[in-house]
A and B are shown apart, each in its own frame.
Chain A
Amino acid sequence: MSGVGAMRIVRDGRVIDDPWRTVGAEDVLPGGAIIVPLERRAEALGSGHGADALGVMLPGSADASLLDGLLGTLPLVAIHFEGAGDGRGYSLARTLREQGFAGELRACGAFGRDQMFYLARCGFNAFAPDGDVDPAALLAGLDDFSLVYQPAADQRDPIGALRAARAGFPLAR
């Protein structure tokens, strides 16, 4: 999670140079667009950082209520996956999208191409995993399935809605 130079990440279905720098708990705050641990946001604002160039990092275990009142202001929320088996970040991401967060939702930490499809469905639109993961492989993971059974944050029509349209009966809502 400590600061590094421009990395290749996946965002909105493309491989890009990361315009954000991730800053750790102990790092000196650099200029430009930065992602800081949530606890350091006030400090960054106090040192003159503009709110629109200031994203926050949360562990997957965090409660969404920590961002109450901030969701309209934050340009980016990064959720850090501590271990591959820790699925709390999926629920946190979906909850933030359900609460109306429209900015960049970035997955960081322990995941790979085989989790991409699920992560994207939970509302993540940017992906910066730990380690030496080929961004092109990550992109491929987004297309593991062409259909879905359940509604989620990606607004894709689930199979139930496709069937209803075929049969000409109304949808829920």
Chain B
Amino acid sequence: MYIYDDYDQRIVDERVRQFRDQTRRYLAGELSEEAFRPLRLMNGLYLQRHAPMLRVAIPYGLLSARQLRMLARIARTYDRGYGHFSTRQNIQYNWPELARVPDILADLATVGMHAIQTSGNCVRNISSDALAGVAPDEIDDPRPWCELLRQWSTLHPEFSYLPRKFKIAVSGAEQDRAATAFHDIGLRLVRGADGRLGFRVLVGGGQGRTPRVGVVLREFLETRDLLSYTEAILRVYNRFGRRDNKYKARIKILVGALGIEEFSRLVEQEWAAKRDSALALTPQAIAAMRAHFAPPAYDPAAAADTLPTAGPAFARWVERNTRAHRVAGYRAVFVSLKGGRRAPGDASAEEMDLVAALAERFSFGEVRVTHDQNLVLADVRVGKLHALWQALAGGGLATPNIGLVTDMICCPGLDFCSLANAASIPVALAIQARFDDLDYLHDIGELELKMSGCMNACGHHHVGHIGILGVDKNGAEFYQFTLGGVAGDGARLGERLGPAVPRAEVVETLAHILEVYLAERLADERFIDTVQRIGVAPFKERVYARAA
């Protein structure tokens, strides 16, 4: 993985010093709340319902065991002993004290971490595929490109006061596991007709109040041009993006208003002057960055590993929570942060320490955070899977539910977030409690359930196979269901099922939807395929039958 050199380290150290001084000036009354606000946001610090919330960047979701231990230590020292992994592969702490945040950032800096640009109207953490570098369907490793983008965007002088936040995702595989169509810029690594590597560039995707599927801005971009072209897009957005209404300020609105042809013309015009500037990537700079992500020392003897027969529980976990690896004899292992009484994506300090230790023992000391709020140990020998499973099960981290109903995405909702209209965590817990029967869950099979506590869509409800959106109706919490959303390939927005249901009926509504699926599915048809085949009408009939 990328390890900071003395240059990177100096930047994060200076950032800590800068934020310590800004916080001091704010607490001393020298800096107004209005002036401090964008500064604290650009260090990931929100003022929330109960306390500040601090979002720490995990670039493209990649962590060393040492970094994960530091996240555990911060949870223990400055918070209430846990952290919340977010859908953008970051971690959030819900209970830090403002005056101690500079100390948290100083601790993070000792392991090459920070909270730079995890909020604010700037380029946010670059997100990617949690299986980067190990997926069998990979065209090229997205992580070197993510890191090049991370460095380019860090403290960018021109783009720190954009009209609104800006999110970039990079996917390097045949299958899009990074939801690139739902980012301000989505980059897909592709091979051109002559076999050369490049990017297909999508722009203007996003969720929130105005969900949009990204459109192709450029079919093929040479890798050398990654930074110059991205900078040209950002300049057009910074100049022309709306600033009069924050709900119309994202790049998707600009792209929609100008049309993709005119937007593209403006980008090409800016790019022409930048293309051969110092932003052009040299083969040496690309090779040097790739070297940071060289494969670990896989054991060729692993190819002869066989899976032990160790009972149905282990077999089920292997089937559900592990994925194929490009190297024979290895698997990628998902550590489920879902199910039971756990708020989706939460992990305690003890759990983080355990996963860090297991990463060192089983997976070359690295951990990934997935965009659906789980963790991954990406390089585990098949012959060691049983020992790893036992260790994870001992820590309550082996729930075999990856990709199933209870592996739901969920935002913090009304319990923590000052934007939320409705609770999401208690509803998620009720769903997890109702659908805790593993045989039933496995029978339902692959299903992406995503829930947001307000229309800002942090829980990605628009792109859930089943989406649930919390809304406020005259002070009561109601929940709007959508069906058929897809985040990855074949990206599409879910279709509204019908009127929102009261909180007490959410679990029952979900049960009715699943009933219809079980009755209608053909052979091994997945839930999403059934919805696409039969449409929402049969689900609607069942759910609203009582009202008829």
Question: When A114-B22, A160-B285, A171-B278 are in contact, do A91 and B155 touch as well, CB less than 8 Å?
Answer: no
* A122 contacts B by Cβ under 8 Å: yes
- In the assembled complex, which residues on chain A have CB atoms less than 8 Å from the CB atom of B151? 149-150, 159-160
* B435 contacts A by Cβ under 8 Å: no
* B265 contacts A by Cβ under 8 Å: no
- In the assembled complex, which residues on chain B have CB atoms less than 8 Å from the CB atom of A85? 38, 121, 161, 243
Interface size class of A (residues with CB under 8 A): 35 or more
* A4 contacts B by Cβ under 8 Å: no
- In the assembled complex, which residues on chain B have CB atoms less than 8 Å from the CB atom of A117? 155, 157
In the complex, the answer to whether A151 meets B10 with C-beta atoms within 8 Å is no
* B1 contacts A by Cβ under 8 Å: no
| In the complex, number of A-B residue pairs with CB atoms less than 8 Å apart | 123
- In the assembled complex, which residues on chain B have CB atoms less than 8 Å from the CB atom of A87? 121, 158-163, 238
Chain B's closest residue to A167 (CB) is B288
- In the assembled complex, which residues on chain A have CB atoms less than 8 Å from the CB atom of B7? 147, 159, 162-163
In the complex, the answer to whether B277 meets A173 with C-beta atoms within 8 Å is yes
In the complex, the answer to whether B284 meets A147 with C-beta atoms within 8 Å is no
Q: How far is the CB of A125 from chain B (nearest CB, A)?
A: 14
Q: Which of B157, B280, B285, B288 contacts A121 (CB 8 A)?
A: B157
Q: How far is the CB of B46 from chain A (nearest CB, A)?
A: 16
Q: Which of A86, A119, A146, A169 contacts B284 (CB 8 A)?
A: A169
- In the assembled complex, which residues on chain A have CB atoms less than 8 Å from the CB atom of B285? 160, 163-164, 169, 172
Q: Which of B5, B157, B239 contacts A88 (CB 8 A)?
A: B239
* B14 contacts A by Cβ under 8 Å: yes
* B152 contacts A by Cβ under 8 Å: yes
In the complex, the answer to whether B281 meets A90 with C-beta atoms within 8 Å is no
Q: Provide the bound-state CA to CA distance between A104 and B34, in Å.
A: 30
* A53 contacts B by Cβ under 8 Å: no
Interface centre among B11, B157, B162 (most CB of A within 10 A): B157
Q: Please give the number of chain B residues whose Cβ is less than 8 angstroms from any Cβ of chain A in the complex.
A: 42
In the complex, the answer to whether A145 meets B155 with C-beta atoms within 8 Å is yes
Q: How far is the CB of B333 from chain A (nearest CB, A)?
A: 34
In the complex, the answer to whether B238 meets A151 with C-beta atoms within 8 Å is no
* A70 contacts B by Cβ under 8 Å: no
* A44 contacts B by Cβ under 8 Å: no
Q: Which of B8, B15, B22, B239 contacts A91 (CB 8 A)?
A: B239
In the complex, the answer to whether B11 meets A91 with C-beta atoms within 8 Å is no
Query: Could you list 13 examples of A-B contacts with CB < 8 Å?
Result: A90-B159, A117-B155, A145-B15, A146-B10, A150-B151, A150-B156, A151-B279, A158-B278, A159-B8, A161-B278, A171-B278, A172-B277, A172-B285
Binding site for A on B (CB under 8 A): 5, 7-8, 10-11, 14-15, 18, 22, 34-35, 38-39, 121, 151-152, 154-163, 227, 235, 238-239, 243, 273, 276-282, 284-285, 288
Binding site for B on A (CB under 8 A): 63, 84-88, 90-92, 94-95, 98, 112, 114-115, 117-119, 121-122, 144-152, 158-164, 167, 169-173
20 further interface pairs, Cβ-Cβ under 8 Å (given A145-B11, A172-B280)? A84-B34, A84-B35, A84-B161, A85-B243, A87-B159, A91-B158, A114-B22, A118-B157, A121-B157, A144-B14, A145-B15, A145-B18, A147-B10, A149-B155, A150-B227, A159-B7, A160-B151, A163-B288, A164-B282, A172-B278
